[in-house]
Amino acid sequence: MGEPRRNYSPDLTGQTFGKLTVIQKLPPIVEKGKRAGMSLCRCSCGRIVSIRNNSLKAGGTTSCGCNRQEAALKCAKWHGATVKHKRLHNIFQKMTARCYNPHHNRYRRYGGRGIAICDEWRNNFGAFLKRAISNGYKDGLTIDRIDVDGNYSPENCRWADRTTQANNTSKNRWLILDGKRQTLTQWARELKIHPVTLESRLDSGWDVRRALTTPKIA
């Protein structure tokens, strides 16, 4: 007796592969001298298509093609968003580079000291864009972390002008007098004393009150 005939065309009726549900077994086809089992499938989008069994079982085909169409639409939407909001996309890319690219010239001050991007934004420009548009973003403003030692996240970020952001860097010297907290530069502007003069006084050992309340020499 010869070898039993191999089943080149198993019946997959009723089985589901991704968006495809097999509704009927089809006669096998022959390609390059080899038999290939076929199945008639209904996609969850409603389209009926015939698919090779080996592609279904290997996970190579999981839809009638609508997955590729959805991916293309998503890509087009993404591209459209990055083009329309090019400045915000650049801000997003630079923020990511500062935190995760060791070769970035500002990495040491960000990722190098543990500053990261929250999971919501980390690989999702769409979420970052949505949050920015609904929370005060305007051309000319830059992203600013309220806590300069905190991460980039919705609760720790705001959109500020460059003056506000400059007054909120880790390099600033903060001074408190009578419960009022400002940077050295802000005090100098308010008291009309040159910042270098204030800095020199403090470096010479003056206390904050004396440094801020002593009139400048005419």
The better pLDDT of the pair 184, 37 is held by: 37
Q: Report whether pLDDT(7) > 80.
A: no
For residue 31, the surrounding DSSP H or E stretch is strand 20-31
Of 37, 40, 43, whose CA–CA distance to 19 is shortest?
A: 43
Check residue 3 and give its pLDDT: 46
DSSP summary character for residue 201: H
Of 128, 116, 117, whose CA–CA distance to 89 is shortest?
A: 128
Separation of alpha carbons 88 and 129, rounded Å: 7
Name the β-bridge partners of 30. Answer: 35
pTM of the model: 0.45
pLDDT in tens, 117-156: 999 999 888 899 999 989 889 888 989 888 877 899 999 8
Check residue 1 and give its pLDDT: 46
Pairing label, strands 174-177, 157-160: unpaired
Which residues contact residue 24 at a Cβ distance below 8 angstroms, ignoring those fewer than 6 apart?
A: 13, 39, 40
Q: Are 20 and 57 in contact (CB under 8 A)?
A: no
Long-range pairs of 57-65 with CB within 8 A, sequence gap ≥ 24:
57/12, 57/17, 59/17, 59/18, 61/17, 61/18, 61/20, 62/17, 62/18, 62/19, 62/20, 63/18, 63/19, 63/20, 64/19, 64/20
DSSP string, 57-124: HHTS--SSSHHHHHHHHHHHHHHHHHHHTHHHHHHHHHHHHHHH-TTSTTGGGTGGGT--B-HHHHT-
In terms of residues, how long is the chain?
218
pLDDT in tens, 157-212: 989 876 666 555 545 678 889 999 888 888 888 898 888 788 888 878 899 999 99
